[in-house]
Chains A and B, each alone.
Chain A
């Protein structure tokens, strides 16, 4: 089936073409990535370990990853076992496997919008009849359970959502997740919850759908929280039976993760607490700055995120957000993410993992640009 490049791709391409103009990158949804040496330096004998790892044959390794890796992941899901986990090439691959495998002719799916763009592209590509339930600014992006109830029917194969919401950063509570479970159960539908930002929880742990329902499937990776997205390791976590079924597709989809990358991840996980605290603190500190700024800026508003790494800011000016963000980049060097990409018109999105100095100056530049617009 023919597929075109999506709006996000085109946006990123445009940004790349103008990258030498970027002075303040306020679009960082994860911190500046670590490198291999950064991870090793957290241990004594880093040089020795580096050479040891370099001397290891680059083999397939077990399908289930290095021994101990799934055990590490299982720690984040109380009550889970390693047989509940299927490793994939990043969360992107996990989402794709789930949606492809479950699809049958005639199925519909219900997507809670806004959402991570890959999810909405894949459900259309896989020919689900797509029904959208949107989170609305007017009621602070609280999920309307009645709207969700009306959207599902006996042909609903799956409810697709992100938690925390990408890009809103709104978190569904355990009770809300349980309500979604009841709605899914009423039509025997699966739930796919992309929880890639779950670890950015601003000190209030965020519940996973895993374990709440036998047809609940959670997807995640350590790419954002540990800031090593280039290792391409993610996972699906669900019942053992479903893991066995998804494995069938995984065998013909990409199978094993890269050997060296899994080993580097395994090492990084030994320092998870330290790395998590460090990265979360950046998000927290920056969110405090953004919060203060929005509250004191005329013409701006937002619903404060309680999870994730992005803040979606609404503005009152009459200009499309792509145009605004292009202007911001070319005139002031500030990089933002246009809300248009998520059908959130009249918003721009700030990625909270930039460095604090860039953020402070960047916000000032945004204010100046907006003032200039208003006075036109």
Chain B
């Protein structure tokens, strides 16, 4: 298999050695500070007894025919889904991988909407799909060009892949736009894989799930981002029952069951999702507003305000690579961002706004200082 190297992985490797310099981490897209098992148990009146039950659960493979508990909890987020529509996987990465791998057949092509989380672009290429890309451009506010999409889809198109909301731009498709995509895709009988991992982070625009709008629409998501538990490695696919059955078989040969303890914790966490997320959702919304004010104030920066999600792509007008920009920012000012090159946008950085508000404010102040310095030198 020929597989492209993870570009964000290069940055992650570098930042690992320089993490001690970071005072303000604006590089991540999941809530910080992160939640613990104790946070989950504190939502229950019998938390201590739940901990005991958990600690006494045998660390076995999950029961062979998957218990419905977790899948039923997940169903609550998809009005037209039942447990049989849900396939559990090791995080959304595994969920996406299973879908892309399963649907491949010799001779088919895949249309990918970019920019995107790299897996969604590199994985179809690695699986030998004919690769076609529809680029959301900054100039067009990261809005999908339907004409371009229509021109790239043909009868050999097996799969369209997108993120909703988009990572890293935060652009979201409304129900109307999703229906327009479906209309294009339906005509050739292609599948749609929609990575909805950030869709709970919505602001003024409602971001619907595509599941249920089209029989061949497949959704992936996980507990890692908007639900706040990256270390559980609990992800899922939502698809029609026939597809779900096939995906679960591929899942069995590529990883078998997810961690049993993690599955139980996931159920407990999802049952209290409203309570657990209330605090950080409020915080993230506030940050979304502050971010907007800040970008508008800084004359060197510009961006398209994200409709949803927890990150934004911010362009800078200095003549340097995004890696240079971000490395210097870490080394000289202690602020961590993700270089835009990770998404093939080299004159930008991706900023996450899931941290505590005070850290966002301070971090942005430091970026302002850096911009001032660059003004004088570059």
Contacts and interface: CB of A to CB of B under 8 A. Distances in A.
B77 to A, nearest CB: 20
A256 B252 CA distance: 18
B83 to A, nearest CB: 16
Interface stretch (B56-64, B197-205, B333-341, B342-350): B56-64
A201 B94 CA distance: 34
Contacts of A231: 59, 259, 261
A1 B102 contact: yes
A107 to B, nearest CB: 11
Contact of B259 (A61, A101, A258): A258
Nearest to B228: A58
Interface stretch (A5-13, A135-143, A191-199, A211-219): A5-13
Contacts of B1: 100-104, 249
B63 A35 contact: no
Contact of A54 (B51, B91, B231): B51
Given A103-B1, A253-B97, A259-B232, A57 B258 contact: no
Given A93-B90, A252-B126, 6 more contacts: A3-B250, A35-B56, A50-B55, A54-B36, A54-B38, A58-B232
Contacts of B90: 89, 93, 232, 254
A103 B37 CA distance: 40
Nearest to B234: A258
A5 B245 CA distance: 9
B94 A35 contact: no
Of listed A32, A125, A248, residue having the most chain B CB within 10 A: A248
Interface in A33-68: 33-37, 40, 50-51, 53-63
Contacts of B261: 36, 230-231, 258, 260-261, 264
B351 to A, nearest CB: 19
A13 B91 CA distance: 25
28 contacts: A3-B102, A16-B63, A35-B55, A36-B55, A36-B56, A36-B57, A37-B55, A58-B37, A90-B256, A92-B255, A92-B256, A93-B254, A101-B3, A228-B59, A230-B58, A230-B61, A232-B233, A232-B257, A249-B1, A251-B93, A251-B119, A252-B3, A252-B97, A253-B254, A254-B97, A256-B231, A256-B233, A258-B259
A370 to B, nearest CB: 28
A310 to B, nearest CB: 17
A231 B62 CA distance: 10
Nearest to A64: B16
A228 B259 CA distance: 10
B360 to A, nearest CB: 19
A259 B223 CA distance: 13
A254 B35 contact: no
B259 A50 contact: no
A90 B35 contact: no
B18 interface: no
A122 interface: yes
A116 B141 CA distance: 52
Interface string B123-166: 10010000000000000000000000000000000000000000
B41 interface: yes
9 nearest A-B residue pairs (beta carbon): A259-B231, A230-B260, A57-B34, A230-B59, A58-B231, A37-B55, A228-B59, A33-B58, A33-B60
Contacts of B265: 58, 260
Interface residues of B, number: 64
B35 A260 contact: no
B3 A57 contact: no
A249 B119 CA distance: 10
A232 B232 contact: no
Interface string A268-308: 00000000000000000000000000000000000000000
A121 interface: yes
A2 B246 contact: yes
Contacts of A6: 249
A34 B58 CA distance: 5
B93 A253 contact: yes
Contact of A35 (B36, B59, B118, B229): B59
A89 B33 CA distance: 26
Contacts of B231: 57-61, 256, 258-260
Contacts of B255: 89-90, 92-93, 96, 232, 254
Contacts of B105: 1
A3 B249 contact: yes
A232 B3 contact: no
B104 interface: yes
A230 B259 contact: yes
Contacts of A32: 58
Nearest to B34: A57
Interface string A228-261: 1111100000000000000011011111111111
Question: Which of A58, A125, A261 has most chain B Cβ within 10 Å?
Answer: A58
A357 B374 CA distance: 77
B9 interface: yes
A204 interface: no
Contacts of B259: 230-232, 258, 260-261
